[in-house]
Chains A and B, each alone.
With several copies, the nearest count.
Chain A
Amino acid sequence: MARFVLSLHTPPSDHDTTQRIVKFANACLAQGHTIDAIFLYQQGIYHASTHFDLSSDELQISALWQQLADQKLNLMLCVTAAQKRGLDIKNTGVFKVAGLAEFAMLASDADKWVQFK
């Protein structure tokens, strides 16, 4: 069984990329592989906002991440990327504030790093 890290670089308004990383993560888990982290970087950090207000026919961003968190997936965001972009790092929902070094160590130990953007 392989170990993955996934990184997300696009903002939550990119619904298409969002559904893709979530489906990819679910496929990994379904096949018994390990995902050591999903890491929000660049504009991806805005996914950790707790203030989405989406109508019911829209992709439900927060619910998708919650569903991955419920499976004990390690959801991280880059703190310096967030601070520069105005994200409230005290309220990041299911995402854990982390340093870039933490992710780099996980990526170094992983078999595969797949970028989504």
Chain B
Amino acid sequence: MSTLHIFSKPLNYYSANQLENLILSGDKVLLVGDACFAKKQFRQFADTLLILEQDAQVRAIKLADNDKAISYEDFMALTLSTNQSITW
């Protein structure tokens, strides 16, 4: 029973206090768009952050060892392998 959480903006665009209580350890956290700039801020929600590779690349973002770069095919597969997705 895992949920896919999709973020497209840095953390200050969201009500952080609520998020930390609604993202569980088995959940997946995917950063797309400008959220890729804010990996450090989102690290609290998941040990491994999924990062849409193209979006990170155009923003000149270096990935860390515990980041997982994914393609659009992976993104699509993720929506199928999780039970529900939330675009925050």
Do A's and B's CB atoms come within 8 Å in the complex? yes
B34 near A114: Cβ-Cβ < 8 Å? no
A-B pair count, CB < 8 Å, reads: 43
Whether B76 contacts A28 by the Cβ 8 Å rule is yes
- Bound Cα distance from A115 to B52, whole angstroms: 16
Q: Is A2 an interface residue (CB 8 A)?
A: yes
A17-B8, A20-B33 given as contacts; is B87 within 8 A of A117 (CB)?
Answer: yes
Given known contacts A114-B87, A117-B87, is B80 in contact with A27 (CB within 8 Å)?
Answer: no
B81 CB to closest chain A CB (Å) equals 11
| A115-B8 Cα distance, complex, nearest whole Å | 11
Interface contact A111-B72, CB-CB below 8 Å = no
Determine the residue in chain A with the shortest Cβ distance to B88. A117
Q: Are B80 and A20 interface neighbours, CB within 8 A?
A: no
Interchain nearest-CB distance for B69 vs A (Å) = 15
Q: In the complex, what's the smallest C-beta–C-beta distance from B64 to chain A, in angstroms? A: 23
Given A20-B33, A20-B55, A112-B79, 5 further pairs, Cβ under 8 A = A24-B76, A31-B73, A111-B80, A114-B79, A116-B87
Residues of B whose CB lies within 8 Å of any CB of A are 6, 8, 32-34, 52, 54-55, 71-73, 75-76, 79-80, 85, 87
A interface residues (Cβ-Cβ under 8 A, vs B):
2, 4, 16-17, 20, 23-24, 26-28, 30-31, 33, 111-117
A-B contact pairs, 13 of them (CB 8 A): A16-B8, A20-B33, A24-B76, A26-B72, A27-B71, A27-B76, A28-B76, A30-B73, A31-B73, A31-B76, A33-B76, A114-B87, A115-B87
